[in-house]
Amino acid sequence: MENKPIGRIESRTIELDCNTAVDDGLYTFTFERTGSQIRARYTFTYKWDGWEWLITSHHSSVLPAGD
């Protein structure tokens, strides 16, 4: 948080099922303090509990150079 990251979703796919959803894609973090950027892939899974969507899992990983 020290370098003030700002995230932007570059592409995404959302798949909906009965009471679940999967959101996966690519995002870029730009660090305001240094100007450097990191591209990463992500996946969020959600569950509908009858009132709201709850995150059940999340994964992010930095893309290898050249991707």
Q: Show the 3-state SS of 1-62.
A: CCCCEEEEEEEEEEEECCCEEEEEEEEEEEECCCCCEEEEEEEEEEEECCCCEEEEEEEEEE
What residue spans define the domains of the chain? 5-61
pLDDT at 19: 96
Share of the chain above pLDDT 70, in %: 99
User: In one letter, which amino acid is 43?
Assistant: T
pLDDT at 66: 73
Distances (CA, A) of 62 to 15, 17, 42: 23, 28, 9
Q: Over the chain, what is the mean pLDDT?
A: 94
Tokens of 55: 């995150």
Of 3.40.50.300, 3.10.450.50, 2.60.40.10, 3.40.630.30, the CATH number of 5-61 is 3.10.450.50
Split at pLDDT 50, 70, 90, the class of 67 is low
29-48 tens-digit pLDDT: 999 999 999 999 999 999 99
pLDDT at 65: 80
